[in-house]
Structure 1
Amino acid sequence: MTRIITIGGYLAIVGSMVLLELYARRKPDVVAPLSDMLADAMASRTIRIGLIAAWWWFGWHFFFSQTM
């Protein structure tokens, strides 16, 4: 039962992200599209290094660590 709730929660988050991106594409003056936000974030070297470190951490803990 909790597996279904968890999957439903993740699907709701992904659906909300898609809807927000579609809204941002229609009204870019209200909400910035994801591509614009990433372009602004990637202008900073510190943020680029932080994103690489975060992806490394996620990959290490979710793909390479042993599960119970």
Structure 2
Amino acid sequence: MSDHFHPWTDQQGQTSFVWTVLGALSRETDVPIATAVTFPTARIHPVIIAQAATTVALMTDGRFVVGIRVW
């Protein structure tokens, strides 16, 4: 899934809000969950990413790792 408003290619179909999906995954599985790269400022405000990442981290009981790209 992507943190974009649209998918990378037409074959991927529609994309949902990535942080909502991560929250849902945290309730349905007990495997580690991580982001590859989240790009604050270019797509989502850094404060929103911090709040969302903290929420997912709490929901996963420490099974979450966030990847951040910095300029």
- TM-score range (shorter-chain normalised) is under 0.3
Larger Rg: 1 or 2? Answer: 1
Question: Greater strand share, 1 or 2?
Answer: 2
TM-score, scaled relative to structure 1: 0.26
Q: Choose between structure 1 and 2: higher helix proportion.
A: 1
Using structure 2 for the length normalisation, give the TM-score: 0.25
